[in-house]
Amino acid sequence: MEQEYVQNAESELSIKEQLRLFAFDIDAPATPRLIERVSKELSTKERLGILLDGELNFHGENSRYASHDLHAFAAKFPPQLPRAFIRGLTKPNDIILDPMMGSGTTIVESHIEGRIGIGLDIDPLALQLSTVKITPLDIERLQKAGAYVVDRAAKILEFEDEVIEKYLDSQMDESTKEFINYWFLPSTQKELTSLYRAIQEVKDSTIKRFLELTFSSIIITKSGGVTRARDLAHSRPHLDKLKNPKNAIEQFAYKLRRNISSISELNRTHFISNTIGGDAKYMPIASESVDLIVTSPPYANAIDYMRAHKFFLVWSGNKVKDLAELRSKYIGSEKVGTLQPQYLGDHSEKIIQLLADRDKKKAMILRKYLGEMKSVISEMHRVLRKDSAAIIVIGTSTMRDLDIETHLCLADIAQIVGFELVRISKRILDRNKRMMPARFGKKKESIIEQRIHEEYVIGLIKN
Ligand SMILES: C[S@@+](CC[C@H](N)C(=O)[O-])C[C@H]1O[C@@H](n2cnc3c(N)ncnc32)[C@H](O)[C@@H]1O
């Protein structure tokens, strides 16, 4: 009876209101009939316009459901953001791409909504994190393996001191050891080595991957976890000599319980999403095969993901110098080689010129960033099907006190490579949720300070 009432009330809503309702309200998923009606009566461009006019702040909404909260990640967007576009612009089994997936928010939402999510990222932690987040597991087996690891790690720590020392010595080169000695107390190093070794004894590779990620989640946290760093969300971690990190094995056991409960929320019947380690400038994806892109690239003066992520990656066998090499390949990295001359749009050219008057090197870095983004956006255009949308979420950056207005640069570039710009909407960041680098909050009362708590949602169509 109540269901009937709801259906009748809904059918009295206009088709635009119904689209708004099922895109923005988690408790109002659309029926296949409604999805069909919406796509018949409204063009992709009209639907995109309606969604971009909606409330995109999502403050106070729960963003910790399903596997979203397994691990900290700087500048991830709220799941409600990709969800609105996924629901409003696609149907079940459509292909949704995030070429710079970060912690995988878009592909987790694609998975939950019964679409096929494809994610790409150059960062090894982002790849592992996103893969774990879309892989449902047998919870009983996971619990058993987790209990084994906690128990075994405690035994290694108690009885195999020599083995630990040897392991640390043989697995790490000099500069990696130096890094570890600086950031981790000797006692924590032993606890972490015991844990990591115990995890390697687990045979099932998907469970092992999950446990490794849980291991990472006790290191990379807003408060710096079991490291001596004060904060790993900041772009430059600071050593806190007075910090007395908690016992790593106890932290792991605690985080494991929470993470198992998160992953058990993931639907086990639908598993067709995919993650790829790679560069968004050269996507290994067929032309005209994707139905929707929702992505957020690094900022112009990029958040240095590797600076924090190496705190975990050194434990999984990576050398500090190899990680530094990889870091230079990230979009927005400050390593500038020879730049191909290319036109980046009127706004970009003007802002690069203004910046060059203040700082030539920074202007080169900005030109490189925008050039790389042009390659990524060209690739986005290539892989999208005709009449499909791309959503780019980007904050603005200041360089030498100049407001770069990156959204205007990227919107120009998108039009140069062939997209139609539908609209740019603004959203206000929830300060409590989005992990941003510290320097973003320095100038308390300035206009710049206000602007950095905003970000822009650029809506594009491939015609
Ligand atoms: C702002 S984050 C994305 C956050 C994501 N929307 C989320 O909710 O977690 C940007 C991502 O771009 C990735 N990235 C940087 N350079 C890249 C490249 N050349 N190819 C692919 N991904 C890259 C970074 O590793 C980072 O994970």
Does residue 376 have its Cβ closer than 6 Å to ligand 1?
no
Separation between Cα atoms, residue 199 and residue 406, nearest integer Å: 43
Q: Collect all residues with Cβ–Cβ distance below 8 Å to 155 and sequence separation of at least 6.
A: none
Q: In 10 A of CB 37, how many CB atoms?
A: 15
Probe residue for ligand 1, chosen from 63, 69, 71, 121 as the CB with the greatest number of ligand atoms within 8 Å: 121
What pLDDT score was predicted for residue 440?
A: 42
Probe residue for ligand 1, chosen from 63, 64, 100 as the CB with the greatest number of ligand atoms within 8 Å: 100
Mutate to test the pocket of ligand 1, among 81, 281, 331 (most ligand atoms within 8 A of CB): 331
Instruction: Compute and round to an integer the Cα radius of gyration of the chain.
Output: 23
Question: Rounded to 5 degrees, what angle do the CA atoms 367, 434, 214 make?
Answer: 105
Q: Write the CA distances from 172 to 38, 394, 407, integer angstroms.
A: 57, 38, 42
pLDDT for 13 equals: 86
Instruction: Mention every residue, 6+ apart, whose C-beta is less than 8 A from residue 214.
Output: 70, 146, 252, 255, 256, 259
Q: How far is the CA of 4 from the centre of ligand 1 (A)?
A: 44
Distance CA 381, CA 369 (A): 18
User: Is the Cα dihedral 454, 82, 258, 192 positive or negative?
Assistant: negative
Q: Which atom of ligand 1 is nearest to the CA of 102?
A: 27
Kindly state if the Cβ of 126 falls inside 6 Å of ligand 1: yes
Distance, CA of 300 to CA of 368 (rounded, Å) = 10
Question: What confidence score (pLDDT) does residue 166 get?
Answer: 83
Concatenated DSSP letters of 1-18:
-HHHHHHHHHHTS-HHHH
Q: Which atom of ligand 1 is nearest to the CA of 77?
A: 8
Q: Which residue has the tokens 């929702």?
A: 294
- What pLDDT, on a 0 to 100 scale, did the predictor assign at position 6? 47
Is the minimum distance from the CB of 305 to ligand 1 under 6 angstroms? yes
Torsion angles phi and psi, residue 67, rounded to 5: -95, 10
Taking CA atoms only, the protein residue closest to ligand 1 atom 7 is 76
Q: What is the phi-psi region of residue 63: left when phi exceeds 0, alpha when psi lies from -120 to 50, beta otherwise? A: alpha
Nearest CA-CA partner of 85 in 433, 412, 390? 390
Mean pLDDT, each 10-residue run in order, the chain (463 residues): 47 87 90 92 97 94 91 92 97 96 96 94 96 93 98 92 82 92 95 95 97 97 90 78 93 97 78 88 97 95 86 94 91 80 93 96 94 97 98 93 95 98 93 54 50 87 97
User: How many Å apart are CA 433 and CA 415, to the nearest integer?
Assistant: 32
Tokens of 94: 């459509």
**Is residue 385 classed exposed, middle or buried when 0-12, 13-18 and 19+ CB atoms within 10 A define those classes?**
middle
CB 296 less than 6 A from any atom of ligand 1: yes
Atom of ligand 1 nearest to the CA of 103: 9
Residue 430 is predicted with a pLDDT of: 79
Ligand 1 geometric centre to CA of 121 (Å): 6
Instruction: Please tell me the predicted confidence (pLDDT) of residue 433.
Output: 61
Determine the pLDDT at residue 444.
45
Q: Is the pTM of this model over 0.75?
A: yes
Q: Are 98 and 107 in contact (CB under 8 A)?
A: yes
Ligand 1: which of 96, 109, 235, 330 to mutate, most ligand atoms within 8 Å of CB?
330
Q: Is 76 in the pocket of ligand 1 (CB under 6 A)?
A: yes
* Residue nearest ligand 1's atom 25 by CA: 123
Record the tokens describing residue 112, joined without a space: 């939950």
Element (H, E) at 50: helix 44-52
Q: Is 120 in the pocket of ligand 1 (CB under 6 A)?
A: yes
Q: Please give the angle made by the CA atoms of 181, 232 and 216, to the nearest 5 degrees.
A: 70
pLDDT at residue number 1 = 42
- Collapsed DSSP state (helix, strand, coil) of residue 380: helix
**Crossing angle (nearest 10°) for helices 248-263 and 205-217:** 120
Residue type, 162: E
Ligand 1 geometric centre to CA of 270 (Å): 25
Task: Ligand 1, residue 98: give the atom nearest the CA.
Answer: 6
Domains by residue range for the chain, with CATH: 43-136+267-296+336-462 (3.40.50.150), 139-263 (no CATH)
Q: Angle at the Cα of 456 (from 237 to 405), degrees rounded to 5? A: 75
